Structure 1
């Protein structure tokens, strides 16, 4: 069964047509409509009138008005269906899309997202300001969070999913778009986008304001902290930046205290110290789950092997940086400082992915070793398990 969750706020003029169009679209399916209402007008009274005539229509009226995302989560908790869907109550999301989304779910999709930005879609219902705000929000999300790049329209607000996608997941009801939360935190394999035309608003007033926009930015920030892969990348970049500072400071110190030492020798020493600093900080913060592992000679051997790999990766990063600078400066005649910056960016991506899939892959081995050591030293604990 499908549970359709519709958050509403002062949409009394749209309720009748909305219900009629949903019924037409879903006439071949078993469904329920759950209105989560924060209104201070006659909207709940109108919904109640329809609910008395049709037991598939249900109303949750809230007095605290805690936002759209929390309304969706409230509806999910109340829903009885194994398939969940969300759409706005202002008719800008065409209810006719529901049957198309159900067909995609029936063909094996875990998550279906109607999109305005694939062939056949249109955002014509927005004025130029809303288009600008929407585009800015989308690209901020896509640039900062990898999972949001899987969907071309993660701010659209209309979607359908199997309940298993969010089973056991802690969804954080922040602000504007709960779909972003599901894209980042959900457990899904198959995401399908289908085109749709965003409709112009006929009645009522838009809910977009500065507060909603600030909530969106805060939501992006909270997702960055909770998404391990994204958090690791940005922490890795910060650690890399600290390594540049360490390298420059050590190089300056050696130049001041050991003026007779060759420039190349100073550069090698400062680079090695910076590598050691980066390795330690990455252990403590980037891959922080490894930092808690108890020291043991087996753990020591794994660390030695991992540090050796880190030196190889760092050396390869230096090579990537040098090649990039050489090509940009000598062949394309780009300013050497911009060429150097481009080299650092390329090296950062190279270092991150090689570190993730080769260097710190040993983290799982560390955790396994630590678990075995703990069970060996404390057999009573493993027995209790």
Structure 2
């Protein structure tokens, strides 16, 4: 069965039309409509009257409680369907798209996201200011959260998914974009985007406010904290920054205390000390949950993994060293600037090689082997 979960707040002029159009779109499909209502106008009475006449309509009114995400999660608890749709009650999401979404699910998708930003889609229902706010929200999410980057419209307010992708998952009612919560926390293999045209609001007014925007930002950082993959990346970046400080500090110290040592030798020494510092910190913090270094640091410092890490980082030193020579010897720039730019260039190389060749190499081999069986 298909459950259409609709959180509503003061949509008295829209809910009857919404129900009529949902029914027209879902002919020959077993469905229910679950309204979770926080309204202070006549919306609750209108929905209750419709529910009394139609057993497919379920209704829960919440007193003194607001929040789109919490309403949606409460709707999930009420819903009986193994396929769930979330859509707003303001008719800016055209109910006619439901039929195409169901077809995509029947073809094997486990989550279907109508998008305004793929060929055939349109976000004309927003004014310029709201478009800028929406774009900022999308790109912030994509910058911070790896799992949402592949989606063109991760902040969409309408989507359909198989309930199984959130089984045993604890969803948190933070902010107003529950789709991102599901994309980051859920387990799915076949997401699908289909185009749709975001419509103008006919009646009522937008619920957007500064508080809602702040809740969204808080939600993003909450998701980063709960996503091991994203948190690992940011740990690596912070440890990399500490390595830059170690490298630069040692470089400056040697240049001032032992000025007779050449810039080349000083650069190699400072980078080598930074490598050891980064390796220990990455072992303890970034990949500590995977490889249990916390009890084996001394041993691990001399095993194959450390040798591979050192090899990667010394290749990074060559990159840094080359950049330094170009900037300092050829371009005649300041040696400190040359060293810093060299570190920056080498950091990208070190991250990707450390991730794929050192810390997650054996895990990737195991996955590849299982797929070959």
TM-score by length of 1: 0.86
Residues 2 and 81, structure 2, Cα contact 8 Å, conserved in 1: yes
Distance (Å, rounded) in 2 between the aligned partners of 1:230 and 1:117: 25
- Quote the offset at 1:292 in angstroms: 5.1
Report the equivalent of 1:142: 142
Report the equivalent of 1:2: 2
Residues 293 and 300, structure 2, Cα contact 8 Å, conserved in 1: no
Distance (Å, rounded) in 2 between the aligned partners of 1:166 and 1:87: 18
Distance (Å, rounded) in 1 between the aligned partners of 2:355 and 2:49: 57
Distance 1:194 1:46, change over 3 A: same
Distance (Å, rounded) in 1 between the aligned partners of 2:3 and 2:310: 54
Residues 251 and 267, structure 1, Cα contact 8 Å, conserved in 2: yes
Residues 85 and 159, structure 1, Cα contact 8 Å, conserved in 2: yes
Show the 5 A alignment for 1:368-383: none
Residues 6 and 86, structure 1, Cα contact 8 Å, conserved in 2: yes
Residues 114 and 193, structure 1, Cα contact 8 Å, conserved in 2: yes
Residues 302 and 362, structure 1, Cα contact 8 Å, conserved in 2: no
Report the equivalent of 1:161: 161
Structure 1 stretch displaced more, 17-26 or 300-309: 300-309
Residues 4 and 85, structure 1, Cα contact 8 Å, conserved in 2: yes
Structure 1 stretch displaced more, 54-63 or 264-273: 264-273
- Quote the offset at 1:339 in angstroms: 8.7
The count of residues paired between Structure 1 and Structure 2 equals 364
Distance (Å, rounded) in 2 between the aligned partners of 1:340 and 1:254: 13
Report the equivalent of 1:353: 352
- Quote the offset at 1:286 in angstroms: 1.2
Structure 1 stretch displaced more, 351-360 or 118-127: 351-360
Structure 1 stretch displaced more, 53-62 or 313-322: 313-322
- Quote the offset at 1:317 in angstroms: 2.5
Unpaired runs of 5+ residues, structure 1, are 366-385
Report the equivalent of 2:18: 18
Over aligned residue pairs, what C-alpha RMSD do you find?
A: 3.0
- Quote the offset at 1:181 in angstroms: 0.8
- Quote the offset at 1:183 in angstroms: 1.1
Show the 5 A alignment for 1:47-196: 47-196=47-196
* Secondary structure at 2:312 match in 1: helix
- Quote the offset at 1:314 in angstroms: 1.1
- Quote the offset at 1:316 in angstroms: 2.4
Distance (Å, rounded) in 1 between the aligned partners of 2:93 and 2:325: 52
Structure 1 stretch displaced more, 222-231 or 15-24: 222-231
Show the 5 A alignment for 1:184-333: 184-290=184-290, 293=293, 295=295, 300=299, 304-321=303-320
* Secondary structure at 1:239 match in 2: helix
* Secondary structure at 1:98 match in 2: helix
Unpaired runs of 5+ residues, structure 2, are 365-373
Distance (Å, rounded) in 2 between the aligned partners of 1:96 and 1:341: 56
* Secondary structure at 1:150 match in 2: coil
Listed one character per residue, the Cα deviations across residues 183-228 of structure 1 (whole Å, up to 9, x for unaligned) are 1111011111111000000001101111111111111111111111
